[in-house]
Structure 1
Amino acid sequence: MKDVYQGLIRGKKRSKIAMAGIALAALVVANCGGSTSSSTDTEVAAVETPARELIVARDMDINSLDPARTYCDTCQIYMAAAYETLIGLDVNDPSIQIPRIATSWEGNADNTVFTFQLNPDAKFADGSAITSADVKWSWERLMNIKGSASYFLDGVTSVEAPDAATVVVTFSAANSAFLAIVSSTYMSIVNSKVATEEGSAIAAAGADTTDLAEQWFFTHSAGSGPYTLESYTEGDSLVLVRNESYWGTPAVFPKVTIKQVKDASAQLQLLQNGDADIAMQLSFDSTSQLDGNASVVATPQDSYNYVYIALSPGAKGAENLKDPKVREAIKLAIDYDGMIDITVAGNGKKQASPIPNGFTGSADLALPAQDIEKAKALMAEAGKEAGFSIDAIFPNANVYGVDFNVMMQKAQQDLKAINIELVLQPVEWAKWSETIKATGIPVTAVYFAPDHTDSSQYVQYFGMIEGSSWATRAGGGAAGKPIANAKEQELLAKALAAGADTKSGLYSQLGQELINDLVIFPMVNPQLLLAYASDIEGMHYSACCNLELGKLTLKK
């Protein structure tokens, strides 16, 4: 039935077939800045409902659809569609925070207590009101599940709900990043009653071992966003349908299907033929094939995303990486300019540290550069001039237009100059995740997109500090011991307590410490190629959400 439907209204020519115009939605116009905000008047607008499914082609990297466990780029898109946060970001200016479920918010003078007032009109997809109890439950569950995004709430001593419309969060130490963190899709609010009664979800301490709701979330959503989950088929598709009871501006498209399409050329073909409206991971060297095609728009845009190579000296089989001289030699052997050329046809930038270009603390750090002679000298000093072979296990993926196979083949070629042989082993995401959690991986390739707009996330995720994902991975996963850099822990605490006048300098110091760890080597900060049907409006890149499907419309 689905194939017949698509064939009738899609075919090779896009059509603007529409149902009778129906007045559906209230457009909330809101704008705010600083530490507090208030909602604005609601303006009603008539919206035509097109009889058209939105098709998105991308290589999906979904690890989970459970809001407390999900952590991936496709997950951000899903969470922004099916769930909502207390605070959002202006799609045109990510420095501006806007109301979502909360109408106002403020932090105390020392950034240890944050208070939120909820919108009394906010409702879940089942029509029930969103209350402070749902916020408390959602955030406590995120903390207690101890998933990849749980570090967002590190340092929280309490989440209180003094009345149905008020939430108070208290930290043990200053956390000036918290309002930025609240805009992350991973901080979305779940309908606690539905998730508890239907999904048997648990938020209490010990949920990391007692909660069994993850499978339920693969077939159900329990949020308040403009879409709800219809189905997810691993390796095939993620299907969303419009939330007809949405309390905000209704989504234009009645249905969205994100199709699993790994290969960039296959995504391009679907877009050219009119069988996809959006292709999310096209390669830049394919854009010439779109010349003269008036039905498709392809727009390059700077991003905060990047792909990187990581070394884990504590991983099984990584004994040769324990000497930092060897890790520095590997860093110096990479041809970064050539890497950008071969992966994104020159449409990208070098990046100094895990803090990406454009974020606080990135501006004053030296960019990486190839130096083969110095790399050889370091290998000799480490007694490794004869070289060695080492496993490079990485996801078989195309991310931001970068084919990981191509990137790792380039690294393999470069490292031969210092007698290191990378044994390339592309694997599926599930196998990669299982391996790196258990024993670490000597050499791997991964990617990162911002979860919010504060630089603290990069230290918390990549730093050699307590609770960091990469401190554990670099130390050999569950079988090893996390690596520690006490200076990073100290500097991060200062940065989270600092005012605007000193924060930048502290994050620059943190960026240099991350460089000195010799664990994370950013390869490419690529431009994004926003490729989509020319009748789509509102196409964008979001610093918090990747792509907000609910904001997409059709040209009239």
Structure 2
Amino acid sequence: MSTARPKARHRRRTAVRAGVVVLAATALAACSSTGPATTDRTGIIIGRAMDVNSLDISRSLCDTCQIYNSAVYETVVRATPDGELEPLLAESWEANEDSTQFTFTLDPDAVFADGSPVEAKDVAWSWLRVQNLQGLPSYFMQGITGVEATDDRTVVVTSAAPNSAFLNITSASYMGVVNSDLAAENGATADADAASTDTAEQWFLENSAGSGQYVLDSYSEGSEIVLSANDSYWGEEPNFSSVTIKEVTDASAQLQQLQQGDIDLAMQISFDALDQIEGDSSLTTDVVPSYNFLYLALSPGVAGGEALQDVRVRDAIRMGIDYDSVIDATLAGNGERQSTGIPNGFEGSDDLPIPDFDPEGAKALLAEAGYPDGLTLDATYPTFSAYGVSSNTEMQSIQQSLAQIGVTLNLAPVDFSTWGEQIDSTGYPVTAIYFAPDHPDTVQYFQYFSLIDGSVWAGRARMPVNPEENSLVAAALAQSGDERTATYTELGQLMYDDAIILPIVNPKYILASSAELEGNNYDITRNLDLTRLTFAD
């Protein structure tokens, strides 16, 4: 692929080349006299609200999952901080001219944690399992008609139609390679009926089966994930003897534990606490842009969402949100408005409309739609703190905004597990959640948010597929350069017009850690790249 330099949004951000977006944001700190969270300085403790839905890599989809998956499993390629793909399990790869066939040659030195070799059959099995489990990550395999191990080191993937994004997709942490023999012995299968016959999810809560720098030591739901260094790791030695991801749900609690030395790194610090951190010589912090965003999702097809079937009502809700007030309330102004489900800076986002607060226009639309006196909607959402944003603060601010146009939101916060169980079954007419990128290509946002076949939110919203969007995604995957950018922009406009996904804020991100920790970072596929973290000498 050719490389094109983008417009800079921040001195640390670069968005590069067709189909690849990069954010390299690394904070390096000097040594300090603060007491360590771990007395031997060989293990690291990370504090965050854990949103784990599964430790089975082929079923998982969450921010914490990205960290866990990339620590324990490895992908065939990885996206580097400068936006290139580099070898990981594969030493080489190639695509045919029309991007319908992809060939990967594995590194002969790669081994799993049990010492067995990583073979082509493991790659094929892992990717077919992602596809056949029909879980949340299955959309990464859309359009793939064949994955074959042609010998011990060669994997050939066939796509029904051109798929110029597939190489980037393989860098997503959910595409990590599993030890197929070990997993199969414990109930896992990649067969076509895996969605009904695979019984391994419980086993994965206590065991890992990867080739990464770490192995699962223990998992306590709502408490912590503990990883131990993989003594058989075939690459560079891990920087830590152990990694603990500790459940610290509240941003203020994360700050307190960071100040006390109970954790080494806090991932969801509030901007209200920034002055305290910057005034503490034992800590280090940096504020960087991100590609994360928080959004309101409207589901016209679920019970209670009947009024939302009129797009004028959905448009009115978008116009009735005072975005600046919400951003001030949640992030002290440290965020940006975003058009639709494509984050600012990703290919295709530049020329999309940015929503404005227009209460009078919103009232007029509601009246046209038959709701001159307003309406009431139930809004159920998980309680979380993500990217410095409290979901309760966010939703209370949105509730206050919409009250000005006559829309009453009945707020119902629930725990994450309850939300996860219901969102894909009965659904919610209105909800709020967040998203971080999984790989460097914009196509992920259409596969997840648009009204195309297999889209996660087309299913959740119970909305019919839009044939035009289907056709444009197929066209984009056969294109490159400016032509593809234009198609992605056209798709982004259609998503905006659908008014199903209403982004509230694209937040800046606080990198906060002990001053003894170097290399704190925001990573586009791993969320937090543990390989870049070290304790200062």
TM over 0.5: yes
Match of 1:122 in 2: 110
Aligned partners of 2:482, 2:335: CA distance in 1, in Å? 30
Segments of 5+ residues of structure 1 without an aligned counterpart are 1-10, 18-49, 476-481
Aligned partners of 2:482, 2:380: CA distance in 1, in Å? 42
Equivalences for 1:50-89 in 2 at 5 Å?
A: 51-89=41-79
Q: Which of 481, 487, 512 is 1:531 aligned to?
A: 512
Sort the Cα spacing of 1:438 and 1:68 in 2 relative to 1 into closer, same or farther, 3 A: same
> CA shift at 1:486, angstroms?
1.2
Letter in 1 for 2:269: L
Match of 1:168 in 2: 156
Segments of 5+ residues of structure 2 without an aligned counterpart are 1-32
Q: Is the 8 A contact 1:348 1:527 kept in 2?
A: yes
String of CA shifts for 1:168-199, please: whole Å, max 9, x gaps. 000010000000000000100000011111x2
Sort the Cα spacing of 1:349 and 1:416 in 2 relative to 1 into closer, same or farther, 3 A: same
Match of 1:486 in 2: 467
> CA shift at 1:370, angstroms?
0.7
Letter in 2 for 1:60: M
Q: Which of 81, 93, 100 is 1:105 aligned to?
A: 93
Letter in 2 for 1:437: D
Residues 165-174 or 251-260, more deviating: 251-260
Match of 2:213 in 1: 226
String of CA shifts for 1:1-33, please: whole Å, max 9, x gaps. xxxxxxxxxx9722896xxxxxxxxxxxxxxxx
> CA shift at 1:550, angstroms?
3.1
Aligned partners of 1:12, 1:210: CA distance in 2, in Å? 52
Equivalences for 1:275-286 in 2 at 5 Å?
A: 275-286=262-273
What secondary structure, in the 3-state scheme, does the structure 1 residue paired with 2:422 have?
A: helix
Letter in 2 for 1:262: T
Q: Give me the identity figure in percent.
A: 51
Match of 1:347 in 2: 334
String of CA shifts for 1:359-412, please: whole Å, max 9, x gaps. 000001111101111101001111101112211000000111111101100110
Sort the Cα spacing of 1:15 and 1:487 in 2 relative to 1 into closer, same or farther, 3 A: closer
What secondary structure, in the 3-state scheme, does the structure 1 residue paired with 2:396 have?
A: helix
Query: Is 1:375 paired with 2:362?
Result: yes
> CA shift at 1:466, angstroms?
1.1
Sort the Cα spacing of 1:485 and 1:254 in 2 relative to 1 into closer, same or farther, 3 A: same
Aligned partners of 2:466, 2:326: CA distance in 1, in Å? 30
Match of 2:412 in 1: 425
Q: Which of 489, 501, 504 is 2:482 aligned to?
A: 501
What secondary structure, in the 3-state scheme, does the structure 2 residue paired with 1:358 have?
A: coil
Equivalences for 1:181-200 in 2 at 5 Å?
A: 181-197=169-185, 199-200=186-187
Match of 1:300 in 2: 287
Aligned partners of 1:137, 1:532: CA distance in 2, in Å? 39
> CA shift at 1:163, angstroms?
0.8
Aligned partners of 1:447, 1:82: CA distance in 2, in Å? 24
Match of 2:433 in 1: 446
> CA shift at 1:551, angstroms?
2.9
Q: Which of 144, 150, 155 is 2:132 aligned to?
A: 144
> CA shift at 1:227, angstroms?
0.5
Q: CA RMSD in A?
A: 1.4
> CA shift at 1:417, angstroms?
1.1
Match of 2:16 in 1: none
Aligned partners of 1:190, 1:291: CA distance in 2, in Å? 42
Q: What's the TM-score, normalizing by structure 1?
A: 0.89
String of CA shifts for 1:429-451, please: whole Å, max 9, x gaps. 11111221112211100111001
> CA shift at 1:501, angstroms?
2.8
Where has structure 1 moved over 2 Å in runs of 4 or more? 14-17, 50-53
> CA shift at 1:53, angstroms?
2.3
> CA shift at 1:295, angstroms?
1.3
Equivalences for 1:327-476 in 2 at 5 Å?
A: 327-475=314-462
Match of 1:241 in 2: 228
Q: Is the 8 A contact 1:309 1:523 kept in 2?
A: yes
Q: What's the TM-score, normalizing by structure 2?
A: 0.93
Letter in 2 for 1:101: L
Q: Is the 8 A contact 1:227 1:550 kept in 2?
A: no
Equivalent residues, number = 506
Aligned partners of 2:114, 2:85: CA distance in 1, in Å? 27
Q: Which has the higher contact order (CA 8 A, sep 6+)?
A: 2
Match of 1:41 in 2: none
Letter in 2 for 1:509: E
String of CA shifts for 1:253-302, please: whole Å, max 9, x gaps. 11111111110000000000111100000011111112331111111111
Aligned partners of 2:148, 2:440: CA distance in 1, in Å? 25
Q: Is the 8 A contact 1:336 1:350 kept in 2?
A: yes
> CA shift at 1:340, angstroms?
1.2
